[in-house]
């Protein structure tokens, strides 16, 4: 990001976008690849699908080998799986903190939305693993704390994103002196058009629509 002022982003599978967990439409490339790696490790360690990615999307030969007890290429330990998930998600969390700070410093809304999508994707993935990873009685799930941290990050990023949009509108759009002359009873432009403030606000809203919809469907 420091060199090119941009971050690689990837569209999430439309089949899981939205829903009860409100999956994002797109996220950073690194977060998507990390989740795909988690899914491979989960399937190898528990010999079942987590439910995050449809079974049809996985390699059929690997699925058949696991279900029939045949030879498999790799095998993972469930406890080691949770440890690796915890460490990798913690590293990604640190990376997202740095990335979001850079995006906030440059008021880069596109990168900030990508970071928000990445945090939401990781949060939802951790939720699946918390629900499906067996824990010995008397022990707490080590992924639960990471899930809460990503949940807090998603909420904080959403608030910062909303605050940034509000500040941009209030500082750069709602500042036309002629449009804000409340004591003047003369209709603006003889009532043939809206004030400049309304026009620029509408243009800004159209830009947001493009970012939230058009860019998300790339």
67, pLDDT greater than 60:
no
Calpha distance 161→215 (Å, rounded): 16
pLDDT over threshold 70, residue 69: no
Rounded CA gap, 38 and 91, in Å?
Answer: 14
- pLDDT tens for 150-207 read 999 999 998 988 888 888 888 888 777 666 666 777 776 666 666 778 888 888 888 8
What is the maximal distance between C-alpha atoms in the chain?
A: 83
How much is the pLDDT for 19?
60
9 versus 29: the higher-pLDDT residue is: 29
Mean pLDDT of the chain: 76
pLDDT value at residue 114: 86
- E strand or H helix that includes residue 26: strand 26-28
What pLDDT sits at residue 56? 42
């Amino acid at each position: 990001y420091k060199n090119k002022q941009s971050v690689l982003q990837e569209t999430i599978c439309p089949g899981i976008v939205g829903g009860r967990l409100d999956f994002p439409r797109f996220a950073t490339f690194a977060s998507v690849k990390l989740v795909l790696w988690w899914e491979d490790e989960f399937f190898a360690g528990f010999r079942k699908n987590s439910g995050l990615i449809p079974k049809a999307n996985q390699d059929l030969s690997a699925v058949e080998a696991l279900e029939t007890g045949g030879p498999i290429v790799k095998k993972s330990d469930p406890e080691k799986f949770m440890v690796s998930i915890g460490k990798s998600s913690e590293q990604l969390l640190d990376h997202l903190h740095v990335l979001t700070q850079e995006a906030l410093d440059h008021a880069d809304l596109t990168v900030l939305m990508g970071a928000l999508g990445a945090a939401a994707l990781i949060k939802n993935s951790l939720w699946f693993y918390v629900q499906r990873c067996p824990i010995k009685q008397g022990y707490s799930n080590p992924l639960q704390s990471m899930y809460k941290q990503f949940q807090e990050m998603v909420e904080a990023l959403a608030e910062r994103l909303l605050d940034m949009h509000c500040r941009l509108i209030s500082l750069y759009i709602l500042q036309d002196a002629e449009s804000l002359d409340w004591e003047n009873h003369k209709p603006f432009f003889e009532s043939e058009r809206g004030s400049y403030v309304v026009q620029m606000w509408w243009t800004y809203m159209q830009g947001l629509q493009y970012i939230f919809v058009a860019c998300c469907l790339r």
